[in-house]
Amino acid sequence: MNNELVSIITPAFRVAPVIGETIQSVIAQTHANWEMLIADDCSPDDTRETVRQWTTNDSRIRLIALEQNGGPAAARNAALAEAHGRWIAFLDSDDLWLPTKLEKQIEFHKKSGAKLTMTGFRRISADGRTMGRYIDVPHRLDYRGLLGNTAIATSSVLIDSELAGPVRMKKTYYDDFACWLSLLKGGGYALGLQEDLMRYRVMGKSVSRNKRNSALQVWRAYREIEKLNVATSLWYFGQYAIRGLLKYQNF
């Protein structure tokens, strides 16, 4: 394990028009010790070829060409299996980092003692022309605090694998949320870096924009993965729903 290397985990599916901009945001990082592991989940468009072209120009970028479509969890796990860094960062294939994201977050994380850190961010429209308001993050979350919170944006996450141990995704709708819960369930905490360091692209057909289905999947996570009883699930779901409404009431 390389103690200063950041392994960037990027699942990709049908993102040929935007994946280049995502990669450019990584190349522009002031912290240059990284590897970007892009797992293409059998995209029907030119995503795989687009990524392959970038790999010829920068050896830090690696394409993992999956043989069958397995969804985001399988793609992330394929990338995680080939990661060599102490630091595990997640960047979805349509999102962007600001240039100092890794540098500032690693410095913050080293002083924190946290298993996981996340940063503030802004949403952008699919074409990148419209930028939303700044979305802040809680100072600290433990397992119970995370159950009722929508605070952790996947593309803002940095994990210290020396503290957290092996990182793997479960095959479930919200594989990222389930992963953060799993990391914190045995103890430890997540800390928020209150800086605007990421751009979350809102794609028109994004499954996460279907609020009814999202709510159902959160409920299933409580009951089927975390094994919470109905009363406890209702309590956390109420908190989750209120925070979600506040988070998304304005762009």
Confidence at 205, pLDDT banded by 50, 70, 90: low
pLDDT tens digits, 82-101: 999 999 999 999 999 999 99
125: Cα within 13 Å, side-chain hemisphere: 5
CB 203 within 8 A of CB 191: no
Is the Cα torsion angle 82, 84, 90, 198 positive or negative in sign?
negative
Domain range annotation of the chain? 2-205
Q: Which tens digit of pLDDT belongs to each residue from 15-63?
A: 999 999 999 999 999 999 999 999 999 999 999 999 999 999 999 999 9
Superfamily for the 2-205 domain = Spore Coat Polysaccharide Biosynthesis Protein SpsA; Chain A (3.90.550.10)
What is the band of 207 on the pLDDT scale with cuts at 50, 70, 90?
Answer: very low
% of the chain at pLDDT higher than 90: 85
Q: Average pLDDT, whole number, for the chain?
A: 93
Contact 164, 115 (CB under 8 A): yes
Task: Please check whether residue 99 is in contact with residue 32, taking contact to mean a CB–CB distance below 8 angstroms.
Answer: no
Overall average pLDDT of the 7-22 stretch: 97
pTM of the model as a whole = 0.94
Question: Which three-class secondary structure state does DSSP give residue 188?
Answer: coil
Mean per-residue pLDDT for 141-150? 94
Which helix (H) or strand (E) element contains residue 245?
Answer: helix 230-248
